[in-house]
Amino acid sequence: MTGAAPVVLDAMGGDHGPAEVIAGAVRARREHGVPVVLVGPRARLGEELRRHGATGEIAVAHAEDAVPMTERGAGATALTASSLAIGCELVGRGEGGALVSAGSTGAVVACAVRGIGRAAGVLRPALAVALPSLAGGASVLVDAGAIADPSPAMMAQFAQLGVAYARAVLAVEDPVVGLLSIAAEPGKGNRLARRAEELLGGLPVRFHGPVEGHDVLASTVDVIVTDGFTGNVVLKNVEGCVRTALTMVARAGIASPDRLAEVAGRYDPRTHGGAVLLGLRGTVVVAHGSSRAATIARACVVAHTLAGRDPAAGIVTTAAAG
C-alpha cells in the first residue's frame, strides 16, 4: 500500500475524542500499511502520537477548530478552520486519497459537498452500507442516513448510486433494486414512496418494485433504496436485533460461542468500518460516532481501498422530475 495517496482522518470527529481516533490511525498504519494524515490541533495530536511512539510515523495537518457532534448540517461549513473542513479541502485538492470522519453525519455531508464537491449530475450524496444477507453476499442499503428528507428525484438517483456501488465494490454484475415500503404491492406507502416508485420504474435499472422490512437481509434484492431517516433507523435496528438475537441464543446454549461470534462479526461496525458517502468527486467514509480504535482502523482500510475509484463518482445519472 505504500506510495498511494494517504487517507485523511478527521482526528476531532467522534464521541471519544482524538485518543481513539489516533489509536485507530496507528493501527491502520502499523497493521495494514495504510498511510494516514491526521487533521486537528498539532500540539494535541502530537501528544497522543508520542504516547504511541508514532511521532514522525503519521503526518499531521493543523486545524484550530472542531465541529461539535451536535452540529447536524450546513452550520459546519462556517467553521472553515475545523478539522473536518480542512480534511475535506485536502481531499478536494488531491492531497489525500480519501476522507474518514466519525463526526456528525450531517456535518460530514455538508463539508464534503463544499470541500470535495458532488459528482456531475448528482443532486445530493447518499450513504451506502453493505449489509450481509441470507444468501451469503450483501445488499446495499442506500440512503443510510445522509438525507433525511429527500425528494423523489433524489431517491431515484440513490438507486443509480447504489447500483454503481454494488457493481464496483460487491462485484454484482446486474444489481436488482428494491424500494423500501410498507408493502410489496405496487402503489402503496406514503407520497414520497409512491412517487419514487414511479420514477424508479422509468430508470435503466432492474427495478424489482417495493420491498418490506423483512426483505432487508433476505437477499430479495441487491440494492435497497429509502430515505436517510428510515435507512438510519433500519441500520441501527438491524445491528440491535442481531445483538439481541445472538445474546438470547447464547444464553439458551444452542450454538457454539465461536459460531455466534462469527455471525455477530458480520454485522459489527468494526467489520464494515462505516458507510461510504456516494455521489462525490472523491471518497468519503463516515464512521459511527461511537467508534473505537478498531472501527477507525477498519474505516481507514475501507477508504484506502476505495480511494481513486469511488464507484459512483462521475456516473451519468438519468434526469428525473420529482
Q: What is the pLDDT of residue 245?
A: 86
Q: What is the pLDDT of residues 20-58, one digit of tens each?
A: 999 999 999 999 999 999 999 999 999 999 999 999 999
My answer on whether omega of the bond before 10 falls inside 30° of 0, hence cis, is no
Q: What is the pLDDT of residue 317?
A: 46
Strands 59-62 and 36-40: parallel
Nearest to 112 by CA among 69, 74, 168: 74
Segment 269-285 shows an average pLDDT of 83
In the block, cell 484550530 appears at 64
Rounded to 10 deg, the angle between the 228-252 and 257-266 helix axes is 180
In the chain, pLDDT over 90 holds for what percent of residues? 64
Can you say how many angstroms the Cα of residue 157 is from the centroid of all Cα atoms in its chain?
Answer: 17
Q: What is the pLDDT of residue 247?
A: 86
pLDDT reading at 234 higher than 60: yes
Q: What is the pLDDT of residues 236-247, one digit of tens each?
A: 888 888 888 888
Task: Name the residue type at position 288.
Answer: H
Query: SS3 letters for the chain?
Result: CCCCCCEEEECCCCCCHHHHHHHHHHHHHHHHCCCEEEEECHHHHHHHHHHCCCCCCCEEEECCECCCCCCCCHHHHHCCCEHHHHHHHHHHCCCCCEEEECCCHHHHHHHHHHHCCECCCCCCCEEEEEEECCCCCEEEEECCCCCCCCCHHHHHHHHHHHHHHHHHHCCCCCCEEEEECCCCCCCCCCHHHHHHHHHHCCCCCEEEEEECHHHCCCCCCCEEECCHHHHHHHHHHHHHHHHHHHHHHHHHCCCCHHHHHHHHHHCCHHHHCCEEEECECCEEEECCCCCCHHHHHHHHHHHHHHCCCCCCCCCCCCCCCC
Lowest mean pLDDT, pick from 158-162, 182-186, 255-259, 271-275: 271-275
pLDDT class of 80 with cuts at 50, 70, 90: confident
Q: What is the pLDDT of residue 249?
A: 85
pLDDT class of 316 with cuts at 50, 70, 90: very low
Grid cell at residue 200: 424508479
Nearest to 145 by CA among 227, 238, 268: 227
pLDDT reading at 138 higher than 50: yes
What is the chain's mean pLDDT, rounded?
88
Dihedral of alpha carbons 219, 165, 159, 143, sign: positive
pLDDT reading at 137 higher than 80: yes
pLDDT class of 270 with cuts at 50, 70, 90: low
pLDDT reading at 1 higher than 60: no
- Distance between CA atoms of 314 and 117, rounded to whole angstroms? 11
Q: Which domains does the chain have, with CATH numbers?
A: 1-120+279-312 (3.40.718.10), 123-270 (3.40.718.10)
Nearest to 205 by CA among 191, 193, 189, 222: 222
The number of beta carbons lying within 10 Å of the beta carbon of residue 157 is 31
Q: What is the pLDDT of residues 139-197, one digit of tens each?
A: 999 999 899 999 999 999 999 999 998 988 888 999 999 999 999 999 999 999 999 99
Rounded to 10 deg, the angle between the 293-306 and 17-32 helix axes is 50
Given a contact cutoff of 8 angstroms between Cβ atoms, the answer to whether 199 and 322 are in contact is yes
- Distance between CA atoms of 197 and 68, rounded to whole angstroms? 37
Task: Name the residue type at position 85.
Answer: A
